[in-house]
Structure formats: structure tokens, C-alpha cells
Amino acid sequence: MAIIVTDASIKNDIATSISHVHICNHSLIKMVYHAAFITSTEAELFAIRYSINQAYSIENISKIIVITDFIHTVKKIFKSKSHPYQLYMIAILSKLRRFFATNQENSIEFWECPSCLNWRLHQTVDKNSKAFNP
């Protein structure tokens, strides 16, 4: 099982997307991306997309759990009429299609973790996303 924890923040028109991939209670992959003049929704979708790519590439992963405080963003992935985000949606769904085709028992879940819960793993990602000083 891979647990993906993501967050995004924007300061001075520069978005920071952060995601950590955990396996067996150990942080395995940490990714930080910066982009200018994009929305927080795009930054979060970008983090989710690349985290799923990383988790999918790890051998013997049959379950992916994505934890975010942007659950409303996740819902946009599965709405086919969400035209502004179609490129993200296509990229994410094509990777998920391959993940599910590998084994019909594979699964993915999306969990919401509001920042106010102060969960240690999400708190670290949240702090890192806000620490960038452009």
C-alpha cells in the first residue's frame, strides 16, 4: 500500500505543490514543484497526478490512498464536464486505467484531511508547501 499526502499553496503568484509517498510507514518519495500563475486547484491536481505516477511505478503496490485537504479538487478528476482541468483529468485517469488493468484487485481511495486536524503527515506537507519564499 502507498499513502500519498499532498498539499499546495500560492505566494506571490507562485504555486508550490508538495507530495510525499509513504510505504510501510516510511517516507519514500518527496516531491516539490513550483509553478507561476496557476491556481491552487491546478497545483493540487499536478501534485496528485505525479504522486500517483510515482506510486504506480513502485513494485507490488496494489492500493493507493491519496490524502489531501483539497477533496473538492479530487472530485474534479472524475467529472468529465470539468473542461478547465481536462488535461489533468486525462493524465490521471490514464495512469489509473493502467493501474487497474494490472490487477482487478487494485484500488485507490481519496481521503480528506483538513489542516485543522493537525495530523502529523499532513502537517509536515502543509508546512513545507507554505515555507517556500519566492
What is the pLDDT at residue 62? Answer: 93
Write out pLDDT tens, residues 102-122: 898 999 998 888 777 878 787
What are the residues whose beta carbons fall under 8 Å from the beta carbon of 12, sequence distance 6 or more? Answer: 134
Question: What residue ranges do the domains of the chain occupy?
Answer: 2-131
Write out pLDDT tens, residues 95-104: 889 889 989 8
Q: Tell if the pTM clears 0.75, that is, is over it.
A: yes
Which amino acid is it at 99? F
What is the pLDDT at residue 81? Answer: 66
What is the pLDDT at residue 24? Answer: 82
Instruction: Find out if CATH 3.10.290.10 is the number for domain 2-131.
Output: no
Identify which has the larger pLDDT, 51 or 114: 51
DSSP 20-33: EEEETTEEEEEEEE
